[in-house]
Amino acid sequence: MYPLLIDWVGLIIRWVHIITGIAWIGSSFYFIFLDASLRQRAAMPDGVAGESWQVHGGGFYHMQKYATAPADLPAELHWFKYEAYFTWISGFLLLALLYYLSAELFLIDPEVWDINAGVAVLIGVASLAAGWVVYDQLCKSPLGQNETALSAVGFILLVAVSWGYTQVFSGRGAFMHSGALIGTIMVANVFFIIIPNQKKVVADLIAGRTPDPALGRDGKQRSVHNNYLTLPVLFVMVSNHYPMTFESRWNWLILTCVIVVGGVVRHFYNLKNAGKGEQYWLMPIAGAFMLAAIGLSLPPRSNVALEDIPEVSFTEVRRIIDVRCTVCHSATPTFEGFDRPPGGVIFDDMRDIQRSIPRIRTQAVNSRAMPLGNVTEMTDTERQTLSHWLARGAPLE
C-alpha cells in the first residue's frame, strides 16, 4: 500500500510540474515572439511602441505594446508569475521525493563519495541556494554591465558546478542537480527581480512618478538569461530516463554541449523573430555540439577480438542477476519500499532475462545506472562478465 501511495504522489506532482512548466515556458516563448513581432504603423495611439495582429482559435487579436506604460493603468492587469513559481515548487517537491527521500538509491554513489544521506541532501539544497546568490551577485556587480563577459563567466561557472556535482553525487543525482540549479536561477529571476521590479514600475506610475529605467533594464537582462537557459533545463529533465547521458563519465561535458546547443538554437530564433533573418549558419554549430554530446556518451570501445573474450555460461549470468538485481526486479520484490517490480522489469526466469537483454546492456553494462545507487554492490568484474556474455551473443545455456 505504502509504496503505491508514494508512486501516486510522485506521479501527481510530476503531472503538475509538467503542466505548470508548459504554461510557464509556453507563455515565455509566446511573449518573446510577441515582442519580436511588434511593428510600428502609422496612427498608433499615444505611447504605443508597436503592434501586432494575430489570429488564433477563430478570432483576431490586436496586440499593442506601450513603451513604458499607458497614461491610465487599466483596472484589470494580468500578471504572469504563478506558472514559474509552481514549476519550481513542484520540481523541488519531486527532487525531494525521489532524490532526497531515497538518497541512497538516486543521489549517492558510494564509489563517488560515500556520504551520509543527510549530508548529501544538505549539500544539494545548499548548492541550489548558493548558486542563485553567486549568479545574482555577478549580475549586480560591474561585470553585469557587460553582457558578453557576464555570459562567459556564467557559462564557465555553470560548467564548473556541473563537474563539481559529479564529484559529489551519482551521475543521475549530479545531472539532475545541474538542471535544478539552472531552473532555480530562472525562477528566482522571476521571483526576486522581474516581478518585484515590474511592481515598482506600476507603483511609480500610479503615484505619478517616473520609474527608474534601471528597473526595466535589470528585469530585461534576467529575462534574456532565462530565455537562453530554457532548452538545456528541459533536456536535463527528460534525459533522466536515458542513462547514456547522466551515467557517462563525461556527463558534465555532455551537459556543457547541450547548454551550447540550447543557447545557439534560442539565438537562431531570437534573431529570426527580431526580423534579422534566418541565420542558418548557426544550425551546423548546434549540430556539431549535439554530435559531440552523442560522441561523449559512447561507451569505451573494447578492441579485444571476439575469440579472446572468455565464454560465460548463462548460469553465471543468472547468479549475478539473482544476487544484484532481483531484490527489486522480481514479481515479489524483497527490497524495502518496493511492492512491485520497478519499471515493470522482472528477472525471475530465463524468458524474463532474455526479453530484457538490450535494457540490461544499457542500464548495467554500458552504464552503471543499475543497480540503483549500487545498493546491492555489484562489482566491476560482474559487469565485465555480463559484458562478455553480451559480446558472445548472450547464450542462454
Q: How far is the CB of 297 from ligand HEC (least distance, A)?
A: 15
Please say which residue, 246 or 289, places its beta carbon nearer to ligand HEC.
Answer: 246
Window contacting ligand HEC (CB under 6 A); options: 5-13, 45-53, 294-302, 335-343: 335-343
384 contacts ligand HEC (rule: CB under 6 A): no
Q: Using CB under 6 A, which of 45, 47, 343, 395 touches ligand HEC? A: 343
Please tell me the distance from the alpha carbon of residue 347 to that of residue 339, in angstroms, as a whole number.
Answer: 15
Q: Using CB under 6 A, which of 159, 195, 345, 391 touches ligand HEC? A: 345
Please say which residue, 219 or 373, places its beta carbon nearer to ligand HEC.
Answer: 373
Please say which residue, 166 or 326, places its beta carbon nearer to ligand HEC.
Answer: 326
Please say which residue, 94 or 190, places its beta carbon nearer to ligand HEC.
Answer: 94
356 contacts ligand HEC (rule: CB under 6 A): yes
Distances (CA, A) of 376 to 105, 230, 271, 314, 322: 10, 37, 52, 20, 11
Q: How far is the CB of 23 from ligand HEC (least distance, A)?
A: 25
Evaluate whether 223 touches 193 at the Cβ level (below 8 Å): no
Evaluate whether 55 touches 37 at the Cβ level (below 8 Å): no
168 contacts ligand HEC (rule: CB under 6 A): no
Q: How far is the CB of 388 from ligand HEC (least distance, A)?
A: 15
Window contacting ligand HEC (CB under 6 A); options: 18-26, 245-253, 276-284, 365-373: 365-373
Q: How many residues does the chain have?
A: 397
Evaluate whether 382 touches 320 at the Cβ level (below 8 Å): yes
Per the rule left: phi > 0, alpha: psi between -120 and 50, beta: everything else, 321 is: alpha
Q: Which of residues 298-327 bind ligand HEC (CB under 6 A)?
A: 324-325, 327
Q: Which residues contact 323 (CB under 8 A, 6 or more apart)?
A: 376
17, three cell numbers: 510540474
Q: How far is the CB of 327 from ligand HEC (least distance, A)?
A: 5
Distances (CA, A) of 113 to 106, 108, 117, 169, 268: 13, 7, 11, 7, 41
Please say which residue, 239 or 270, places its beta carbon nearer to ligand HEC.
Answer: 239
Q: Using CB under 6 A, which of 133, 298, 359, 395 touches ligand HEC? A: 359
Q: Using CB under 6 A, which of 89, 335, 348, 391 touches ligand HEC? A: 335
Please tell me the distance from the alpha carbon of residue 183 to that of residue 177, in angstroms, as a whole number.
Answer: 9
Q: How far is the CB of 240 from ligand HEC (least distance, A)?
A: 7
186, three cell numbers: 530562472
Q: Which residues contact 153 (CB under 8 A, 6 or more apart)?
A: 138, 143
Please tell me the distance from the alpha carbon of residue 143 to that of residue 137, in angstroms, as a whole number.
Answer: 10
Q: Using CB under 6 A, which of 254, 286, 360, 390 touches ligand HEC? A: 360
Q: Using CB under 6 A, which of 13, 121, 174, 372 touches ligand HEC? A: 372
Please tell me the distance from the alpha carbon of residue 28 to that of residue 34, in angstroms, as a whole number.
Answer: 10
- CA nearest to 98, candidates 173, 195, 191, 15: 173
Q: Which of residues 86-115 bind ligand HEC (CB under 6 A)?
A: 105
Please say which residue, 256 or 363, places its beta carbon nearer to ligand HEC.
Answer: 363
Q: Which residues contact 337 (CB under 8 A, 6 or more apart)?
A: 2, 3, 6, 102
Q: Which residues bind ligand HEC (CB under 6 A)?
A: 105, 241, 324-325, 327-329, 335, 342-343, 345, 356, 359-360, 363-364, 370-372, 375-376, 378
